[in-house]
Chains A and B, each alone.
Chain A
């Protein structure tokens, strides 16, 4: 926690709560933003018509992401720019296609392959996995229905929306190459990627290795620690990964018609590290300061930018720099978007329905730490040695390729680091890892931190959060309140 985060500051009355904006208010705020600032918010790429993206959020709602009309937004221009940037990705992808750029779809590795593909100037990369959010954002089952028609039914998690999007061509142009990570990852997405490939979309599969538990082994297996992230891995796994990366690199070069030279990759790593650093700084301030200078959803958007830059690495860094500036200012001034007494909770999964995060905040809670399955995208990538090997090493921080206990430990560390009072796990029906992780995470958190855990399934919703979810969140808030009273901290 930062110095300013001590409760003493709260008691000294420095807290100032900034109001979040409705969609309508956000539109008005966007309209008032200085024209000079707006001019900075442009997607530029070689051969592509410059594309302004800082627009009224309702325009993105009208284009399909209807949930935006029900959400509330950070009042700063930087915050509104962040939302605009994220929701304009679709436009950028189609513009890039028109401009003749190569389009790479990456899936499942969450943070490393885009570093490779963005080494090329005339390429754009996006995560098809992100379509996971779309049914809830669109308040519409179109993508899920399209997936179901191809056999991908509701036993499978919402990531099946990606299959629907491939088929409907609704969210992205046909990729020149889809780069799919399989192996030590969830089964439903591996199955979906096969269906995508089976329908003729050009796909290269590469393997996420299994990261073994060093403490459990007794043979002479050689282990090493990742450069940043401190994950132990078998050396063999890294050697294997390097060969996987070499294969993918070759395939990418063939599609792009251009070789990725070492210095190009080094530059891409440098850019990735810059973004990663910005994300680390933002989340440290957002989660570690009372009152929270940034709300849960805005921080979540920043976190996810680290995995793929939302199809524009340059603007991504600029957006994050802006957000960081605002966050720093607020911390300095003691301003927060949530009350200082908010119930501090770590979220151990991203929530399919983002409005649930805001519902929790409305009920008096806040997000103060996350383990969104993408924590490996925040760590620094090694800049010494061979860049491809450095990138491969970064994969080995992935919390999903190791034991369930490893990920549970990451959650525990977040609880400790940000002094959380509870953990929330919004699970997803059909996501195989959830069914196994919930018990392990709950048990580790109870045992090591002594704080309660709430887990619940998030059903698809087109008309707001269900009564069941609301009831659970409210009960959890009551529970945390009781614990405070008992501990005499309230």
Chain B
């Protein structure tokens, strides 16, 4: 068996393992308290879990079918990711179908409003939280922390479990271990971005304790995969920047796979894994809030200089050669920033305005290829 075949076989094996684990986690959702959907990266999974709930970060999106299914509830000019949250529930697809409570952050107008549609149409209690877009004044962080306290109280009313300091500490520790476990594997999966992404998405749906066990189980396979890499080391490094990449929304990563080393700096990429909550005996909600506030920079911040700071840091850290800036059609916050991003970043940038559907893969593939041709040509 050649090195390439061996590599493919190992990749396929791992993918199957991840799929099986994910499936088992989805099936066990309702066995662990209320299933709480978290719409937006600033909804702390740790807090939800500390209230005796099973936290599910909504990363699933989205087929053309899901997109179309939601047409009865929203207009054509809506963000595909938000639409698909509704579409998947309408189609009875997991984990949206299992949600018993939805926490929606006002990261954007559409996540706020689609959360309302979800709650109203499916009769699911909706807990909206306010995550200020402004950050220059201390009051914004304080408001966010006070929103988390409110969320804890609301969830406690539903579940009867108050997020006490000890429960929060346990939950923060559990998620911290899961994040570290997943993060430890990511460096080895730069050449298999689809696999890396699927592994990261497990953080959104799995019980963190089980996830640590799963990672320990596949660590050997990942090491074998990495050591057997036949991919030349001089391939360019591409940073993927953008909004949430759903676990079915991987045409871009597929297009990159095998052509370059990939670092994902999207809202569901490295920052989701690298997040560290430090517990120094202080108030756990405050610590949690501060960690999320300071470590998850977003294009939505006003002004959004922390986002650019983060991107530049990633460029330095990973010696990035080119960037794919991915937005979703009708996601204004990302889409309208694309031209400015190209002007601000002194590297080749491919701006992709994507939607969900069968035609996307070939379109994305062609453009990614053109970007890499451009980078290769410049290197010669």
Contacts and interface: CB of A to CB of B under 8 A. Distances in A.
Contacts, number: 158
A58 interface: no
A407 to B, nearest CB: 11
A435 interface: yes
Contacts of A155: 77, 329-330, 332, 335-336
B118 to A, nearest CB: 11
Interface stretch (A25-33, A183-191, A278-286, A470-478): A183-191
Nearest to B76: A435
B113 A243 contact: no
Contact of B154 (A209, A219, A432): A219
Contacts of B317: none
A243 B137 contact: yes
B302 A439 contact: no
A217 B73 CA distance: 24
A210 B336 contact: no
Interface string A197-233: 1100001011101101000111111000000000000
A430 interface: yes
Interface string A6-33: 0000000000000000000000000000
B125 interface: yes
A203 B76 CA distance: 33
B109 interface: yes
A419 interface: no
Interface in A410-451: 427, 429-430, 432-436, 438-439
Given A183-B132, A184-B106, A190 B302 contact: yes
Contacts of A432: 77-79, 108-110, 113, 330, 332
B339 interface: yes
A152 B332 CA distance: 9
Interface string B230-245: 0000000000000000
Interface in B103-139: 106, 108-110, 112-114, 116-117, 120, 125-126, 128-130, 132-134, 136-137, 139
Contact of B150 (A193, A221, A240): A221
Contacts of B137: 243-244, 247
Contact of B128 (A193, A210, A427): A210
Given A156-B336, A403-B116, A405-B116, A182 B73 contact: no
A283 B333 CA distance: 36
Of the four ranges (under 10, 10 to 19, 20 to 34, 35 or more), the interface on chain B belongs to: 35 or more
A439 B73 contact: yes
A484 interface: no
Interface in B268-326: 300, 302-304
Given A156-B332, A219-B157, A150 B340 contact: yes
A257 interface: no
Nearest to A438: B75
A182 B332 contact: no
B74 A435 contact: yes
B125 A216 contact: yes
A182 B331 CA distance: 16
B11 interface: no
Contact of B340 (A195, A206, A237): A195
A151 interface: yes
A218 B154 contact: yes
Nearest to A180: B302
Contact of A404 (B108, B113, B340): B113
Nearest to B139: A243
A467 to B, nearest CB: 21
A436 B74 contact: yes
Of the four ranges (under 10, 10 to 19, 20 to 34, 35 or more), the interface on chain A belongs to: 35 or more
A396 to B, nearest CB: 13
B132 A207 contact: yes
A192 interface: yes
Contacts of B215: none
A194 interface: yes
Contact of B75 (A153, A404, A434): A434
A129 to B, nearest CB: 15
A153 B335 CA distance: 9
B335 A185 contact: no
Contacts of B303: 194, 197-198, 203, 205
B146 A236 contact: yes
A183 B133 contact: yes
Q: Which of B73, B113, B129 counts the most A-chain CB atoms under 10 A from its CB?
A: B113
A439 B76 CA distance: 12
Contacts of B173: none
Contact of B78 (A193, A197, A203, A435): A435
Interface string A117-155: 000000000000000000000000000000000111101
Interface in B69-86: 73-79
Given A182-B133, A207-B140, A218 B113 contact: no
B155 to A, nearest CB: 9
Contact of B74 (A198, A220, A236, A439): A439
A219 B302 contact: no
Given A151-B340, A244-B137, A434-B77, 5 more contacts: A197-B302, A216-B126, A236-B146, A247-B137, A435-B75
30 contacts: A151-B337, A151-B340, A153-B335, A155-B77, A155-B332, A187-B110, A187-B331, A190-B109, A190-B332, A191-B335, A194-B302, A194-B304, A206-B134, A207-B140, A207-B143, A210-B128, A216-B126, A218-B158, A219-B153, A240-B139, A247-B139, A403-B116, A405-B116, A405-B120, A429-B77, A430-B330, A432-B79, A432-B113, A435-B75, A436-B117
Shortest beta-carbon contacts, A-B, top 10: A151-B339, A435-B75, A191-B336, A219-B153, A210-B130, A187-B332, A205-B302, A243-B139, A436-B113, A188-B332
